[in-house]
Structure 1
Amino acid sequence: MPFRDGESISYPEGKAEITSIKLRLEPGQQTPFHCHPIPTFGYVLSGKIEVKTKDGNKTIMSEGESAIEVMNTYHRGRAIEGPVEIVVFYAGAEGIPTTVLEGDDGC
Structure 2
Amino acid sequence: MMSFFTRTIPPLIIGGIALCALAAQAADTTGIVAYKGKVLLDTNTDVLGKPVKYPEGKPRIISEMITLPVGATSEPNIHQTPMYLQVLEGELTVDYGTYGKKVYRAGEAFIEAQGVPHHGQNTGSGPLKFLAVYMGAEGIANEAKP
The percent identity for this pair of structures is 31
Which residue does 1:54 correspond to in 2? 97
Cα displacement (A) at 1:56:
5.2
The answer to whether the aligner puts 1:6 opposite 2:45 as a matched pair is: no
Equivalent residue for 1:42, pick from 75, 81, 85: 85
Secondary structure at 1:55 match in 2: helix
Which protein is bigger by CA-based radius of gyration? Answer: 2
Q: Which structure 1 segments of 5+ residues have no match? A: 103-107
Structure with the higher helix share, 1 or 2:
2
Name the count of aligned residue pairs. Answer: 102
Secondary structure at 1:6 match in 2: coil
TM superposition outliers: structure 1 runs of 4+ over 2 Å:
none
Equivalent residue for 1:84, pick from 119, 124, 128: 128
TM-score norm. by structure 2 comes to 0.65
Q: What is the RMSD of the two structures over their aligned residues, measured on CA atoms?
A: 1.6
Structure with the higher strand share, 1 or 2:
1
Which residue does 1:100 correspond to in 2? 144
How many angstroms apart in 1 are the aligned matches of 2:103 and 2:52? 22
Q: Which structure 2 segments of 5+ residues have no match? A: 1-40
Q: Which has the higher contact order (CA 8 A, sep 6+)?
A: 1
TM-score norm. by structure 1 comes to 0.88
After TM superposition, list the pairs within 5 Å mapping 1:62-73 onto structure 2.
Answer: 62-73=105-116
Which residue does 2:10 correspond to in 1? none
Evaluate the alpha carbon distance shift between residue 56 and residue 7 of structure 1 in structure 2; reply closer, same or farther with a 3 A threshold: closer
Cα displacement (A) at 1:95:
0.6
How many angstroms apart in 2 are the aligned matches of 1:38 and 1:72? 9
